[in-house]
Amino acid sequence: MKIAVLFGGTSTEHEISLRTGTFISKTLSSMGHSVKPILISRDGRWVIPKEYRPEFPEGNSKNPEEYLKEFEELHSTNAGIFSSLDCDVAFLGLHGTSGEDGSVQGFLKVLGIPFTGSDVKASALAMDKIRANRLFQLAGMSVAPFWELRKKEYSENPTSVENSGLEYPLFLKPVEGGSSFHTFRIEGPEDLRKRLPEFFDAEEHAILQKFLKGTEVSCGVWEKKEGSKRILEALPPTEIIPGGEFFDVESKYKPGLSQEITPARLPEKIISKIQEQSILAHKTLGCEGYSRTDFIIVGETPFVLETNTLPGMTETSLIPQQAKAAGIPIQTLYQSLIDQALERAGKIPVG
């Protein structure tokens, strides 16, 4: 098949997406598909190869400018997006805003191009931590107490945040964002007053959420094909032991700083709860294809943190780790995502 892999993007997770997109492209190429890697630069430019060639930069993905230059030198590119996408399906390797929030999904849907992962509505809901948390609560899931704050409200009344009623310590996080960028642990009111101006220099919308002390766990879900039906199957959850005070950007991506143990070292009763809740989160938001939900386990209760509709897909990412632990080849998972995208678009018959 002719598969376009979209990666990079304009979000703070650009660098991580470079790793995801490169890994996806190489894996799909090894499966025999014709791959067209489409790199979206940090300033929103689409760098689209004219031909299908399984060649990928070997440069340092931690330097996006260097990666972009090497990519452009490697590929003869075409600036006409509508004519040059030319693919059977788009495999999304994007993360964060403008990639995971329904924007690109809507763009591809208008063009009539099948794409992997969740549709527009589920992508937008999952990306919005406030709305997602409210839906999780309605579904009967446990959620840490939270409070919403917008930049405009803060600018007009900076002291209003002190009346939130939340207990300290708490976390200050972007409502839309991932990989723990611009995420801070706040110890008290004075700490919050210092952090908010810095936070709102980069973000428009904040969620303040009570800190819960417990075990951090993440669990993937995929839609397994059985005959003419698709069955939701939860993967073995991963236990995360952060190298710092929480699973921040450095803990997530600096090798050896954190431990990720798959399957999680938890009683079977708790594992089952986590898997059931991951499937419930997937269904509550209307996700498709696959997702990954993060939890804090307090006692025997999983508190849901967030659901990712386009989770990381590098060699060391959690979903590939969990698929391996379940005995599912990554190629099987990828092909399932491609088939699901085509079925949703009515491109191939179900069954």
Give me the DSSP letters along 144-209.
Answer: --EEEEEHHHHHH-GGGGGGS-PPSSEEEEESS--TTTT-EEE-SHHHHHHHHHHHHHH-SEEEEE
- The tokens for 171 are 């976390």
Task: From the candidates 17, 29, 179, 336, give the one annotated as an active-site residue.
Answer: 179
Q: Which helix (H) or strand (E) holds 54?
A: none
Q: Using an 8 Å Cβ cutoff, are 219 and 278 in contact?
A: yes
Concerning whether 13 is annotated as a catalytic residue, the answer is yes
Task: From the candidates 11, 13, 17, 216, give the one annotated as an active-site residue.
Answer: 13
Q: Long-range contacts of range 52-59, CB-CB < 8 Å, 24 or more positions apart?
A: 52/2, 54/25, 54/26, 54/29, 56/22, 56/25, 56/26, 57/22
Residue 294, marked binder = yes
Q: Torsion-angle region of residue 260: left (phi > 0), alpha (psi -120 to 50) or beta?
A: beta
Task: From the candidates 180, 317, 336, 343, give the one annotated as an active-site residue.
Answer: 317
**Residue positions in the annotated binding site for Mg(2+)?**
294, 306, 308
Active site residues: 13, 179, 317
